[in-house]
Structure 1
Amino acid sequence: MSDSDRTLISKREKTMFVSFLISSVAPLITGITAIISRSATQIADFLRRTAELTSLFISWWVYRRLHKVGEPEMGPDHPYRVRMEYIANMTVFGAMVCSGIAMLVVGIGRLFTYKVSGSVIMGLAVATLGLLVNAWFWWRYSFMIREEFDPVIAGQQKLYRAKVFVDTAVVIALASVAVAPNHPAIKYIDALGCITVSAYLLYNGLGIIRKKVA
């Protein structure tokens, strides 16, 4: 492995670790705001961010382990690589599908029990900041793929692209609640935000299984 390759791997590993550290704060803050507002969208957002944090950690750990044992010498069918990728895929699948099912139940239930009991301003601010940060990481990982393709990095790029789309849905839902909390349509917007997050989690989780079967 050349010095330039080592430098490239080191930079990518650091980027993944930084993204994990930044994302580790989000579940705590989002959880607090969800308790304050009791918004279905924010509850879904909390579980979604927790599932994503698990995914980020496992992806970083897998990338670090694979390159630590000399990844360039291992082909795609190497037993160690296959085992590591299987662990990562199954853990992410479990986190996303379990969270997706839970959020689907919350979203449907919110259609019948909706009640605004707190401010969503803090949650809206956090969601907006998260959207900006995730958009930057999406751009960063896209650049890395163009620079030199790596399957783990490609997975991160797809994850952050999905995070940006879901963050956008969350921001729209919370902004609607903040502007007109008592409007009759708000309960549907709030529940729709929750169900959108659920669909995202289920789609991406089941996508992992589809790829394994294929």
Structure 2
Amino acid sequence: MVDEWSGTLAQINVKQDIMEVASKSNIPTLADVTRAFDNGTVVTVIANHLHSLCSFGDTAVKQDQFLDTALLIATEYYFLNLSELCLFFRRCKIGKYGQIVWGQRLNIQQVMTALYQFVRERAEAINKRESQNIAHQQAMMRTEDVPVLMGGLDELHEMQKEARKHYSIFRRIFPRLPPDLSPQEYWAAWKQDENRVGRILSAFCMRGKGE
């Protein structure tokens, strides 16, 4: 596992687009590795990446000098997955975050600053990906609205019953929601008062289709 997810080859093999790897549930995080193996395994993975970074800069820094930095990264950024870690160090090598290796020394503060910036880029990528997914789902839902309503009131009533239990069905009935509350908050409000909240949401959806 250490050989597969650390060092130069791992950095080369990871996908380049951060949106493809950011917060993906099928890729183990540093916390997952700690639970499955131990803290030493995570520290070794990160230390190997640091060693690869310094070797790329043609320095003589040894791996045992990286253990404190690796432990700090493992505890502060435990939520990063292994692909994200590989991508971060590859970006360091191409100079995206400035000069991290100075002569024979690793600039630890620069490494941590770079990680902070990477995490911000990661959050932006996740938000962009989720926005694209929501826009796609809403577009698909709008195309399904007419067949659903043509099924008659009985079918709509059945859907409303199911929507009280399943959020996805609620969003099929109301693909567009006002931005003042979160979708989950509107779902909870609708379950408390289907008639009043339903009229508000239906009117909002119809306005959106007329835009």
State if a TM-score over 0.5 links the two structures.
Answer: no
* Structure with a larger share of its residues in helix: 1
Superposition TM-score, scaled by structure 2 size: 0.27
Structure with the greater alpha carbon radius of gyration: 2
TM-score by length of 1: 0.27
